[in-house]
Structure 1
Amino acid sequence: MAKSPTFAKDIFQRLTSFKRKKKKSTSNNFEINNTEIPQKPSTVLKIREYIQTDMLKKAYLNLLSMRLELQKEWEAVGEGTPPTDLVNKQTEVSMLLGTLRDKMSVIVRNSSALSPCNKELLVYVAYIIQEEEKRQGEPGVMQGWREAWRDAIRDGVQDTLKKVHLDSCEENASWLAVHLELLGKAVVEDLERVKTQLLSSYPEDFKAFETYVSCHHEAVGEHLKTLLEMVTELKDYYALLDFIVHRYPSDLRDKQRTLIMEEDLLNKIKTLYRDRQEDDFKSALENIIIIEKEVWTKKKSPYRTDDGFLTSETYMDICQRIAGYAGNLEKIDENLGKSVVCFCLEELNPFHTRFEEEFSQHTSSLLTSDLLDSCLWVQYHISYINSFNSLKENVQCYEKNCSAQVERLEKQVDGLIQRFSQTLIKHFKTDVKPYIDGMMTKKWLKTDEDFKEVASRIENYRGLCKSMRAPSAQVFVNDLHYYVAREYVSQLMKKKYSCKKSKNEDAAAKMREQWNELKKLFEDMGSSLNWLYPLGDYLSDIIGMENEKKIKDLLIPLVSNYPDISKKQLSAVLYFRDNGFSLEKHNVINQFTVLKRDAGNTNYYHSFFTDIE
């Protein structure tokens, strides 16, 4: 292969010009002049020996001599066919250059791997690379010297990182966090060593520190990919993210230069973390049901707070877990945090459905057992009403980022709480109905047995309701109060009994006494249905009024305060007072009709009599 006739001249010009250039960043300059290049190069074996024994300068000078000699021989051949020994000699030169470059790579790699290094050798490495790059594009010149240098730095950095201590997860639960701490420290120390020990060996145009920073970045990225294959635990995914986002060391000299992780790798870890966290949350919810099943099966009493409210640790576990997710991920990635929290809120919807089903299935037997089990069944309901109310309050803080999920969850929790409350009401109704049905009868007039049973059950619930938090407690107590008042009054409408002679006065006195006792009970429970309290007095007055003429005067406050009372219902009250027909009773009905007509179609603020069949 023919060479340019100016080739030899250019070589010597470059060598002499290099001698004149002084590199401020290089303490040991590799200076060559034309007199140092041997007139006759050493043998191939000798040059290889120079390379193997780190005599880079001697090896390179002899290679330059071989090149010059080879160039003259190529020029002598001209356009003719080159002899075999010339081709072989060209091959030998190429092989020696490859050997030299490999040796340079080993030197650079070792210098990057915390191994003791001869800084002068790095000076020779840098010079040889520069000289070879000047001839890039010329026939027969080997390519990729700078790339080989960079690869050697990267390999050396990888060797350094491989030496960082790494426990197995069996040896140390915090294996990854510990390793990443050591890894960060190793990177910082290595870059510090590069600045203090290696940079002076390279010319400024090599941008050696930037190259080392880039190689550390690349090596750490590859190392993290390897670690990622070993990660299974949620905490370890978080440790990776925290290391990348917060603790991955920046350039010690220039704080604006930060080692930035590949976006694809970072996104992959985020995705894996999110998926693992979602699985973790599902498992946590499943575990909550398992734990609560044990509570129901072993008939454990619910937890009671210092202020006396029944509760379950269920909501606390859920809220603390979501808050933990949100708090950790806020520091990593706002969007990732939002995504995980929204998922958790969504996942609570099927959880609540499953929880309700399991609860109903595993606690229904308590109602068929003794009184203590029945009370425990009620306590469980109250504790979960309180818990889910607290859960609803706690998720309000996520409304800004997860408004749709919060809204759906609130609706579901409200429905769940309402069903739990109605289940308690239904149980109470079933329990007291036989005794309420015994009211307003001849037996009721003679004995207080049935009423005492009703009052006793209200008394039981009074104690339990004090362990229920607002606002559910208020709604529940009002529902109980309304039901008892309605059922008590409705017994008058069934015409089961009519008083004879002065029995109406006895019935009125008993009714007034019992109504006042109910009033005290519900006042103590905190009922806000104050509008119900006067009704017992109005009805007692009508029933106990000796003079029928005066009953008409009692209709005004009754109709005014309870305008939904019907003619049929008033007739039933009068029947209970005395089933005998009289002109005065007829006049009372007529007066009632006039009052109702004058009142017109009133929009009742409180509905009561319309709910009585």
Structure 2
Amino acid sequence: MSQMMEKSTENPSEDRASFKSNGSIKSDEKLSTDGGTKLGRLRSFRKSIQHATQNSPLSSVKGSKVTSKSDTPTNESDSAASPPPPSPSLSTDSLATPLKNNQKKEDDEADASFRISKPLTRSKTDPGISKFSNSFMKRGASIRRSLKMVTKKDTDKISTKAISEASVEEDMEEKEEEEVLREEIEDCYVLPSIPLTPLSVMEINKLIETGELEEAHLNLLSLRQEFKQQSESCPDGSAMELATREKDLNLLYGMLRKKVSDIVCDPLSDKKLLLQMARVIQEEEKRLREPGGLKDSWMDAWRESVSAGVQVKVQSVHLDRIEQNSAWLAVHLGLLGEVIVKDLENVKQELRWSYPPSFKVFSTYVRRYNIVVAQHLKKLEQQVTELKDFYGLLDWIVNKYKSERIMGSLSLQPDIQDESTDLQLEENFLEQLREKYCRRMQEELRKIQDRVIELENEEVWKDGKAPEKEDNFPISSFPIDILTSVKSFILNSIKLDAQLEKKVVSSCFEELKQFPNGFEKAFSQHCTSRQPLWTEYRITYINSFTSLKKHMEEYKETCEDGVKGFQKAVDSLIDKLMRDLEDQFKEDVKPYLRRMMTRKWLTNDEDFDQLYSRTKLLSQHCSLMMPPHAKAFASKLHYHVVIEYIGQLMKSNYSCKNRKHEKAATKIRHQWNKLSDLFEDMKSNDEWLYHVGDDLSNIIGQKNTTDIKNHLQPVVQHYPDFSKKHLVAVLYFRGLMRGHEHQLILRRLTALKKEVDIASSDRNQVLFSNMQVTVNTNCLSNFPYSCVSFLMPDN
């Protein structure tokens, strides 16, 4: 059977197998009459099957590959030399086995051959093969029914799809082969043979100019060998000839170096020259110390050429003039980033494949961009004047250059991960840029502060506008303006780096220290006279600066000294505004307080009513003042009113007679309670002052003089600085100026002061020591000096 197979394969013309409708085999004699015709049909049939199978997507099984154009002639010749494979229907197995028993095997083979091929049509050219055609067409129809391939239109679609898929696979394979070829460029390089006789200098120069670098370099090496041999063989030969040769070499190498630089600066003009240029550089690096060549490194020159090309690209980025476009820097830096990314993408995807790996092309370009861009930024910085441009430049250097927008771009991954993307800035350049930014920010903050004062004058002082209120407290809007500006500066600095944040906070508070004093000068200048809103304005600014001071405390941890300096300036201004209010109140109530404890006071309430009304107005003003200044202000004026009101008793201006002391005591107690209620409403901190009015009223109001000494204990206990001279003044106001009982009262005071624990008393609670005591000498003129010596100040 094997012999039969071999025979059938080697000589297809002798293949006489044919089938009847019942599957029996005819004799060779019968086949011989029409064998030529049937055999021709079979061969045509085989070719159609082979053609359909080759175009079928099923032929592209795993492991198959689309061949390149260079391989096509070989494959075609191979296929032409080898005989076509035998038809499945004419295999030797069909001769040994009945067709019916081998039907399944034939169906399987037919399924592999006809799965996507075009359905066969019946031939009308030769009626002699009709029986064979009918038999085979029936079997083909059975196969088509099993595969559900009914129409020609369907099979045409499948064939078209198979061809398109095959073409896509072929394109992908070509791309893969191209990538493989890119990676196949190695550092190893076999130098072609150097010509024994070099071309002339003009011819070599022409080769360089036309870009025939390899040939030009080989001739240069040949010329260089001649120079070396001549200098070694005839060291004492013609010096002029050697100098001429050396000059020619230097001239040609200079031309070659310039050509290399031009190619590197514009690598996309002709990529084919890049590999030739790279090989020239490699060879020259090997011969660096040999005579006849250039003295400096060709690799260094190549890197400098890369820098020159990068510099050309950077300088070509569009840059508006400052007066033409306020956003000139932002636009330029945006375009610069795009140019950097685009160029590095081209280096990564295209350019580096034209160089041997040892050149590290991508790394070189990244490093050169770090250097050239840093130099470019230094020139830009000299043109920057506005705060926003200083910030934009800092932000681009610190954040954006390394971000995904530029050096961290996804299109440059993963190659960029192994590279340093730090700009090669000059030493202290970034620090100097930060300092300039801070100084410009201070100038901007100063302008904001000046503008705030101008607005306050235009909107409030000039028209006498009542202050606006917030939570029932009059307050200006300028603290929000100042606070918003400072927060904006600080938050923007945080986006850059922590170092800048500290500098910005310090610079802000250095400038803010000047604001309270400048504001006070402007306020005093524009509000000289006491306007109806004079008091409200001062309370408003006490509240405003208190609020500003409170909000600035959050930066105490970042810049403690700066915050303290600002707080000190604010406290100084608030103290001055409060002193103005205190002085105004003291001046208003002064005439009414001076007429207390007089004959008119005893019979007329007019002066006290004026004192009370002004104190009540003061209480209303205090309610508009934010804590803690409201309590401090109320306490200071509370103390002043007590000193002045009780102090009138010490001046001995009036002495009660005919039991008028009882009326006076009642009036003092009543008025004192009214004043105390006001100061209590004002939340005065000096609660210890509330007792003095009642303590002295009890002494003055006693009917019997003998009972006075029994009421000295409270005043001595509450006010340890209450002395004999103060008691003499109180007794004088009561109408008790001399006598035995007078002496007993004074002795009782002396005894009580000895009993009181002065150490336990609060030394800050000083009241009577700050009152001026006037001694009435008329009533003591008949007494000897020894009796009145205790009234002298030293006693």
Give the TM-score normalised by the residue count of structure 1: 0.85
When residues 39 and 140 of structure 1 are mapped into structure 2, their CA distance, relative to the original with a 3 A threshold, is closer
Shift of 1:477: 0.8
Distance in 2 between residues matched to 1:465 and 1:220, nearest whole Å: 63
Give the stretch that moved more between structures: 289-298 or 520-529.
289-298
State how 1:458-497 maps to structure 2 within 5 Å: 458-497=615-654
Distance in 2 between residues matched to 1:465 and 1:58, nearest whole Å: 100
**1:390 equivalenced with 2:547 (yes/no):** yes
CA deviation digits over 1:471-491, x for unaligned, max 9?
111111111111112211111
2:439 counterpart (272, 275, 284):
275
The one-letter code of the counterpart of 1:532 is L
Distance in 2 between residues matched to 1:413 and 1:339, nearest whole Å: 22
Contact map agreement 1:302 1:312 (CA 8 A) in 2: no
Shift of 1:134: 0.7
Shift of 1:265: 2.4
Give the stretch that moved more between structures: 350-359 or 543-552.
350-359
Shift of 1:221: 0.8
CA deviation digits over 1:520-542, x for unaligned, max 9?
22122222322222322233333
When residues 324 and 491 of structure 1 are mapped into structure 2, their CA distance, relative to the original with a 3 A threshold, is same
Distance in 2 between residues matched to 1:29 and 1:46, nearest whole Å: 29
Where 1:218 maps in the other structure, the secondary structure is: helix
Distance in 1 between residues matched to 2:452 and 2:233, nearest whole Å: 91
2:263 counterpart (107, 114, 129):
107
CA deviation digits over 1:217-242, x for unaligned, max 9?
11101110110111011221222222
Provide the residue aligned with 1:454 in structure 2. 611
**1:127 equivalenced with 2:276 (yes/no):** no
Provide the residue aligned with 1:421 in structure 2. 578
The share of aligned pairs that are identical, in percent, is 41
The one-letter code of the counterpart of 2:377 is L
Where 1:139 maps in the other structure, the secondary structure is: coil
Shift of 1:209: 1.6
Where 1:255 maps in the other structure, the secondary structure is: helix
Where 2:417 maps in the other structure, the secondary structure is: coil
CA deviation digits over 1:262-292, x for unaligned, max 9?
2332233223223333444455455555555
Where 1:507 maps in the other structure, the secondary structure is: helix
When residues 90 and 258 of structure 1 are mapped into structure 2, their CA distance, relative to the original with a 3 A threshold, is closer
Provide the residue aligned with 2:329 in structure 1. 176
**1:337 equivalenced with 2:501 (yes/no):** yes
Provide the residue aligned with 2:472 in structure 1. 308
Provide the residue aligned with 1:327 in structure 2. 491
**1:555 equivalenced with 2:703 (yes/no):** no
Distance in 2 between residues matched to 1:561 and 1:34, nearest whole Å: 118
Give the stretch that moved more between structures: 491-500 or 24-33.
24-33
Distance in 1 between residues matched to 2:419 and 2:703, nearest whole Å: 100
**1:191 equivalenced with 2:191 (yes/no):** no
2:693 counterpart (529, 536, 542):
536
Distance in 1 between residues matched to 2:233 and 2:730, nearest whole Å: 138
Where 1:165 maps in the other structure, the secondary structure is: coil
Contact map agreement 2:669 2:693 (CA 8 A) in 1: yes
When residues 467 and 231 of structure 1 are mapped into structure 2, their CA distance, relative to the original with a 3 A threshold, is same
Shift of 1:40: 4.6
Distance in 1 between residues matched to 2:346 and 2:731, nearest whole Å: 105
Shift of 1:437: 0.9
Provide the residue aligned with 2:219 in structure 1. 62
Shift of 1:182: 2.9
Where 2:221 maps in the other structure, the secondary structure is: helix
**1:136 equivalenced with 2:288 (yes/no):** yes
Contact map agreement 2:669 2:697 (CA 8 A) in 1: yes
Contact map agreement 2:632 2:685 (CA 8 A) in 1: no
When residues 300 and 234 of structure 1 are mapped into structure 2, their CA distance, relative to the original with a 3 A threshold, is farther
Distance in 1 between residues matched to 2:481 and 2:309, nearest whole Å: 48
Provide the residue aligned with 1:11 in structure 2. none
Provide the residue aligned with 1:10 in structure 2. none
CA deviation digits over 1:439-479, x for unaligned, max 9?
12222223222222222222222222222221111111111
State how 1:215-234 maps to structure 2 within 5 Å: 215-234=368-387
When residues 235 and 225 of structure 1 are mapped into structure 2, their CA distance, relative to the original with a 3 A threshold, is same
Shift of 1:429: 0.7
Contact map agreement 1:481 1:527 (CA 8 A) in 2: yes
Give the stretch that moved more between structures: 137-146 or 261-270.
261-270
Provide the residue aligned with 2:668 in structure 1. 511
Shift of 1:159: 1.8
Contact map agreement 2:347 2:362 (CA 8 A) in 1: yes
The one-letter code of the counterpart of 1:441 is T
CA deviation digits over 1:161-199, x for unaligned, max 9?
223333333343332233223323332332222111111
Contact map agreement 2:476 2:541 (CA 8 A) in 1: yes
Higher relative contact order (CA 8 A, sep 6+): 1
Distance in 2 between residues matched to 1:129 and 1:590, nearest whole Å: 119
Contact map agreement 1:455 1:518 (CA 8 A) in 2: yes
**1:402 equivalenced with 2:559 (yes/no):** yes
The one-letter code of the counterpart of 2:701 is G
Provide the residue aligned with 2:767 in structure 1. 608
Provide the residue aligned with 1:258 in structure 2. 420
Shift of 1:155: 1.6
Distance in 2 between residues matched to 1:42 and 1:270, nearest whole Å: 61
Contact map agreement 1:304 1:311 (CA 8 A) in 2: yes
Provide the residue aligned with 1:3 in structure 2. none
**1:93 equivalenced with 2:271 (yes/no):** no
**1:431 equivalenced with 2:593 (yes/no):** no
Distance in 2 between residues matched to 1:78 and 1:493, nearest whole Å: 127
2:315 counterpart (152, 155, 162):
162
The one-letter code of the counterpart of 2:766 is S
CA deviation digits over 1:36-79, x for unaligned, max 9?
x5555444444333323333233333333443455555566553
Give the stretch that moved more between structures: 344-353 or 217-226.
344-353
Shift of 1:320: 4.0
The one-letter code of the counterpart of 2:506 is C
Where 2:383 maps in the other structure, the secondary structure is: coil
Where 2:693 maps in the other structure, the secondary structure is: helix
The one-letter code of the counterpart of 1:259 is T
Provide the residue aligned with 1:152 in structure 2. 305
1:595 counterpart (724, 743, 752):
752
Where 2:266 maps in the other structure, the secondary structure is: helix
Give the TM-score normalised by the residue count of structure 2: 0.67
The one-letter code of the counterpart of 2:220 is L
Contact map agreement 1:495 1:576 (CA 8 A) in 2: yes
Provide the residue aligned with 2:105 in structure 1. none
Shift of 1:149: 1.3
The one-letter code of the counterpart of 1:472 is H
Unaligned runs of 5+ in 1: 1-21, 368-372
The one-letter code of the counterpart of 1:158 is Q
Contact map agreement 2:186 2:357 (CA 8 A) in 1: no
Where 1:457 maps in the other structure, the secondary structure is: helix
Shift of 1:546: 3.0
